[in-house]
Amino acid sequence: MIDLNKPVNFIQNIIDSDLASGRVVEVVTRFPPEPNGYLHIGHAKSICLNFDLAVANGGRCNLRFDDTNPETESPEYVDAIIEDVRWLGYDWSGNVRYASDYFDQLFEWAQFLIKQDKAYVCELTSSQTREYRGTLTLGGRDSPFRYRPVSESLELLEQMRHGQVEEGKMTLRARIDMQSPNINLRDPVLYRIKKYPHHRTGRVWSIYPSYDFAHGQEDALEGITHSICTLEFADNRALYDWFIENLPVPATPKQFEFGRLNINYMVTSKRKLKQLVDENIVDGWDDPRMPTLSGMRRRGITARAIKNFCKSLAVAKTDGVVDIAQFEHFIRDDLNKHAKRGMCVLEPLKLLITNYSGDCVEDLSIPYHPNRSDLGYRTVPFTAAIWIDRNDFSENRALSRKKFKRLVLGDYVRLRGAYIVRADSVTKDVNGIVTEVRASLVPGTVGKSAPEDIKPRGVIHWVSEQYSVDCCVHQYDRLFSHPLPESGDESFTKFINLNSLKVINGCKAEPALAKARMGENYQFERIGYFCLDDRLKNDDDLVFNCTIGLRDTWSKTQ
Ligand code: ATP
Ligand code: MG
């Protein structure tokens, strides 16, 4: 029987058989970010996978920082990552954990391997080490230090640890097999000298463990049962297993690999995203154009949409590229269900209603959502002078009703939630630009269908001139103009879309939008989804980020 609460993927199948065979009693997974940047959409897939598998199987998931490279890591990144995982709505088991919590234990295990004749201190330089390692077709050569006495290696390791050896002069390597077809097993490096203070351990250590020597042992120490990582680590698995077999670890975790999430028009590599930040191509890790969780949050994309998207993705054993339109579909789908509606005019054109008293105000009550009564109503004042969007008006009476469902001179249109009006005449400036449209309303048409003889072309949004709130809108386009900015020989920064940010000042919003709160999503009717940006202040005007436009093309092609 299929259990609908369980994820459908090959890792769940493995978990099922592990539970059935008794290899595993409680499923324990972990999400192991390196704090060298902010999390991006690719990490979200890994987070969802690890946490959801744990939850669905009654297990737990740890959050563990893989903080073994002090030069590139920082507490700022640690804090940002914690905030992002929380924002996605996940709660890890116990405290936040760190690879650096295990430095003492890892060091002891390094000594253990030396004593077992399974590790040695090597004095080849990094380029010599590379050269001795051989190639995919050619076996490696033994380091001249491979058989140095145990006592010498132990002594040198102590000196390395205490900063008595220069960087690059020595490494600790496992003694495995220089002829192995798997290059990872050709005496991999376990420790490197790095005289760099660590953000948690300070200057206590002058050596730091390699990813390979750290990761599996940390998994074992935490009782991780399923250590899920991305495909590029498939060849490291043999080494992962070698350490587990050759060390007195308290548990025997297993590594499983799945395909990285790549999305076209996006770059998902912390290193490259950092480059965009460092070179001021974007205005920070949380720039709303960034594929980081913090950028997407500021853009107005909800955690729910990101999770729904991630859950819709196959967990495959191959890498692939997902169409950005698929992601956008999940963003819209979520916002359509949950975002409050509001009206905002981006390019204001004045519409004066001549048969409505200049000092009359009608407080219209309009629902925040067409089918979510729980979201309530807002008051929208109607007055004789209102703003409509310039592109919602045309003087061209010949425009077909099908093509232009907006206001045309001499014809009718419905103002959203209010009256039907007819455009009667226009005022123009010296350049022939329309500065005002004069119109008349059809009395008694609020909340009522049009009289028999009147057929409004469509519905347009509007705001009262007197009660409108000034605001600024930031519209975003894709950050890259090329679908695969990382392919080819050119640097990915060559494909930056220079028009990815459009700032629209002088927009007019309905009064309810002045009360918009951070993290609250709105649909500006007929335009798109927006959210308040508290970081951008624009002469005290409100600033709204456009999360996404209304039109979804992806779902129509499915
Ligand atoms: P980056 O190249 O962006 O630095 P990374 O893999 O080095 O990515 P880590 O901080 O080491 O980043 O990643 C933490 C976890 O997230 C790892 O288990 C990694 O496999 C997973 N992960 C990272 N990027 C992706 C992605 N694009 N798709 C799925 N999982 C990912
Ligand atoms: Mg990494």
Q: Is 118 known to be catalytic?
A: no
- Give the closest residue (by CA) to ligand 1 atom 18: 229
CA of 508 from ligand 1 middle (Å) equals 42
Q: Which tokens hold the place of 305?
A: 């949409």
Q: Look at the chain and count its residues.
A: 558
> What does each C-alpha distance from 450 to 76, 82, 411, 468 come to in angstroms?
59, 55, 13, 27
> Which sequence spans correspond to the domains of the chain?
1-95+211-263+300-338, 102-209, 342-467, 468-558
Q: Is the CB of 32 under 6 A from ligand 1?
A: yes
Annotated active-site residue 260? The verdict is yes
Are the C-beta atoms of residues 507 and 496 closer than 8 Å to each other? no
**How many whole angstroms from its chain centre is CA 41?**
3
Cα separations in angstroms, 493 against 184, 282, 334, 502, 528: 32, 11, 31, 19, 28
Task: For ligand 1, say whether the CB of 35 is within 6 Å of any of its atoms.
Answer: no
CB atoms within 10 A of CB 64: 23
**Which residue out of 200, 237, 254, 260 is catalytically annotated?**
260
Shared fold status for 1-95+211-263+300-338 and 342-467: no
Catalytic residue at 34?
yes
The CATH number of the domain covering residues in 468-558: 2.40.240.10
CATH domain 1-95+211-263+300-338 topology: Rossmann fold (3.40.50)
- Give yes or no for residue 260 CB within 6 A of ligand 1: yes
Note the pLDDT of residue 553.
Answer: 62
Which positions of the chain have pLDDT values less than 50? none
pLDDT of residue 6: 81
Probe target for ligand 1 pocket from 30, 43, 47, 81, with the most ligand atoms within 8 Å of CB: 43
Which pLDDT does position 302 carry in this prediction? 98
pLDDT of residue 536: 66
| Beta-strand relationship, 501-509 and 385-389 | unpaired
CATH T-level topology, domain 102-209? Glutamyl-tRNA Synthetase; domain 3 (3.90.800)
262 Cα nearest atom in ligand 1: 27
For residue 7, the model assigns a pLDDT of: 82
Ligand 2 geometric centre to CA of 89 (Å): 23
Contact 442, 451 (CB under 8 A): yes
Distance CA 548, CA 270 (A): 24
Those residues whose beta carbon sits under 5 angstroms from the ion ligand 2 are 34
Give 111: exposed, middle or buried? Use CB within 10 Å, 0-12, 13-18, 19+: middle
Q: Assign domain 342-467 to a CATH class.
A: mainly beta
The pLDDT score that the predictor gives to residue 551 is 85
- The verdict on the CB of residue 230 being under 6 Å from ligand 1 is yes
The pLDDT, as a whole number, for residue 538 is: 57
pLDDT of residue 95: 98
Contact present, 533 and 364 (Cβ < 8 Å): no
Nearest atom within ligand 1 for CA of residue 46: 30
**Separation of CA 225 and ligand 2 centre (Å):** 20
pTM exceeds 0.85: yes
Q: What pLDDT score was predicted for residue 554?
A: 58
Q: Is the CB of 216 under 6 A from ligand 1?
A: no
Token readout for 317 is: 């054993």
* Ligand 1 within 6 A of CB of 291: no
Q: Per the residue annotation, which of 175, 186, 237, 270 is the catalytic one? A: 270
- Cβ atoms within 10 Å of 376's Cβ, excluding its own: 11
Q: How far is CA 166 from CA 132, 159, 207, 277, in A?
A: 21, 10, 11, 33
**CA of 232, closest atom in ligand 1:** 20
Query: Best of 9, 30, 39, 46 to mutate for ligand 1, by most ligand atoms within 8 A of CB?
Result: 46
Q: Token pair for residue 123?
A: 């004095």
